[in-house]
Structure 1
Amino acid sequence: MRLAHVWLAALIAIGASPALAQTSGLPPLPKIGIEGEDNRIRVDSKVWPWIAIGRINREVGGHCTGTLIAADKVLTAAHCLYNQNDGRWTVPFEVHFVAGYDRGSFAAHARGRSFTHDPQYDPTNAASLQQMTHDWAIITLDQKLKLKPVPLAPGAAQAIIGGQGKAGVSAAGYNGDWSEILMTHQGCRLLGTLAERPLLIHDCDTTFGASGGPLLRIEDDKAEIVGVLSGVLTLKDKSEKGAAVPVWTFRSLLPK
């Protein structure tokens, strides 16, 4: 892993890792990204917005998490669509999005038709902070799903970070240790952004398999995506904090 040195809240980050990366679930998984008490809880995948979140299964093995943001568009992390073993991008049809997945049941599903990702993203250097800032992708599905999508939050850094309110934010994903059910940490916090990189730093509990999942702001019956879960930063004090790609960095690049 390439080391990265950045400043965050007067602490030096000494390592960055796509620690929420795709997982096959074969070996026991270390709970990178979970500090202290595990605050993740199960949610009802039949209820919005959770029903719009699903597992991204790959025929070559492994899974990630994605969120329906339009009838045929799924937001996820770019590193989920790259095969590190053979050094190639996954063929879109090899990707299967299963919305509202829960232990074999699901609300809807479709295969990928095409991918869109940041042209600056280099998957061969995914663990670097520079690449984590570009770690987002859109899967265009081969059919439209009849589910209510989750919108992207409007505004830039100040509006998004300052708008979390007392409720905080929620991180959702199909973590490797709970790969058959959707788990969330609700009421966690956005801590700010890196001084040198546009990454949202949060204290939500997430681990392998949650990559590509949404960082959500939920208020009453409204929900919106503020970021895409990408990885974990290890700070100088050995604490681990989550990193997410903020929506304002890629909103204008999304396919219409």
Structure 2
Amino acid sequence: MRLAKFCLALALTLGIAPKTGPATANGTWRGVENIAGWEAVGRLTISGKTMCTGALVAPDLVLTAAHCLYNPMTGKKVRADRITFQAGLQNGKAKAERAVVSAAAHPQYRHRTQKGAAQVGHDLALLRLSSPIASDQVVPLAFEDRPEKGDILSVIAYTVGNRHDPQMAYPCQVVARKKATLVMNCEVDFGASGAPVFALQHGQRPYLVSVISAKAEMAGQDVSVGTSLDPSVLQLLVSNS
């Protein structure tokens, strides 16, 4: 699924312009084999046509971008049962695969279809799976505190160019922040909507700090935009699911 473009108000505040082509930014695309727990990242196939990336945050819950719940052409909401999550998909084979039975967007998210008007800052959704994924197959990811400007991050995503294998952009960092919205120089491409943004720490399991919402341009530099996370976000989404 194409990446959302974010609202004009944020663009004016941070000096960012929406961007429609593939982004090129700091960070080198590489494999994920040496990242502990990467299998919690998976591909979301939507109506058998479009795709996003998501991350398992509980045995039966997947976190992604809210705009992934909408048809990019019509703006209509997609039925939850038309979405499939493939955790740890690599070489075309998933560690676990589940259908989605319900989907809840952040209560403050409002989907807009006109050009340049999609919302960020609350572009989050939680998907409930048809059955839990056992921890001996995939271990859910944990949240941590919001990152600050200058923090080193990575992104793991499935894209239109790598539909069957995840790729990691690393290293990249936070270049600006406004409330819950992060601007990062992490490389993203179509299909990376909803991709988890990680903080890595000396070979330990990565923890989630953001979810990719959009790609853009700031001061002539390709950037990505995401919503920062903390445990209260998951609690809020669960209460509304």
Same fold (TM over 0.5): yes
Taking a change above 3 Å as real, the CA distance of residues 198 and 130 of structure 1, as seen in their structure-2 partners, is farther
Query: Secondary structure of 1:250's match?
Result: helix
Q: Is the 8 A contact 2:173 2:186 kept in 1?
A: yes
Q: How far apart are the structure 2 equivalents of 1:246 and 1:222?
A: 19
Taking a change above 3 Å as real, the CA distance of residues 253 and 127 of structure 1, as seen in their structure-2 partners, is farther
Q: Is the 8 A contact 1:69 1:151 kept in 2?
A: yes
- Residue deviations 1:218-238 (CA, integer Å, cap 9, x gap): 212231100000111222x33
Q: Which moved more, 1:128-137 or 1:219-228?
A: 128-137
Q: Give the C-alpha shift of residue 133 in structure 1.
A: 1.3
Partner residue, 1:214: 196
Identity %: 24
1:6 paired with 2:20, answer no
Task: Write the letter of the residue equivalent to 1:81.
Answer: L
Q: Which moved more, 1:203-212 or 1:118-127?
A: 118-127
Taking a change above 3 Å as real, the CA distance of residues 55 and 127 of structure 1, as seen in their structure-2 partners, is farther
Q: How far apart are the structure 2 equivalents of 1:81 and 1:170?
A: 24
Q: Give the C-alpha shift of residue 192 in structure 1.
A: 2.9
Query: Secondary structure of 1:66's match?
Result: strand
Gaps of 5+ in 2: none
Q: Is the 8 A contact 2:112 2:119 kept in 1?
A: no
Q: How far apart are the structure 2 equivalents of 1:184 and 1:127?
A: 29
Taking a change above 3 Å as real, the CA distance of residues 127 and 199 of structure 1, as seen in their structure-2 partners, is farther
Taking a change above 3 Å as real, the CA distance of residues 65 and 101 of structure 1, as seen in their structure-2 partners, is same
Q: Give the C-alpha shift of residue 101 in structure 1.
A: 0.5
TM-score calculated relative to the size of structure 1: 0.80
Root-mean-square deviation (CA, aligned residues, Å) is 2.5
- Residue deviations 1:198-223 (CA, integer Å, cap 9, x gap): 31111111111111010001212231
Taking a change above 3 Å as real, the CA distance of residues 148 and 3 of structure 1, as seen in their structure-2 partners, is closer
Partner residue, 2:162: 178
Taking a change above 3 Å as real, the CA distance of residues 128 and 104 of structure 1, as seen in their structure-2 partners, is same
- Residue deviations 1:177-212 (CA, integer Å, cap 9, x gap): 222210001221122303xx5311111111111110
Q: How far apart are the structure 2 equivalents of 1:182 and 1:121?
A: 27
Task: Write the letter of the residue equivalent to 2:99.
Answer: R
Partner residue, 1:149: 140
Partner residue, 2:18: 16
Partner residue, 1:22: none
Q: Give the C-alpha shift of residue 174 in structure 1.
A: 0.4
Gaps of 5+ in 1: 20-29
1:42 paired with 2:25, answer no
TM-score calculated relative to the size of structure 2: 0.84
Partner residue, 1:24: none
Equivalent position to 2:105, from 92, 99, 117: 117
Q: Is the 8 A contact 2:212 2:227 kept in 1?
A: yes
Q: Is the 8 A contact 1:125 1:131 kept in 2?
A: no
Query: Secondary structure of 1:83's match?
Result: coil
Q: How far apart are the structure 2 equivalents of 1:2 and 1:232?
A: 8
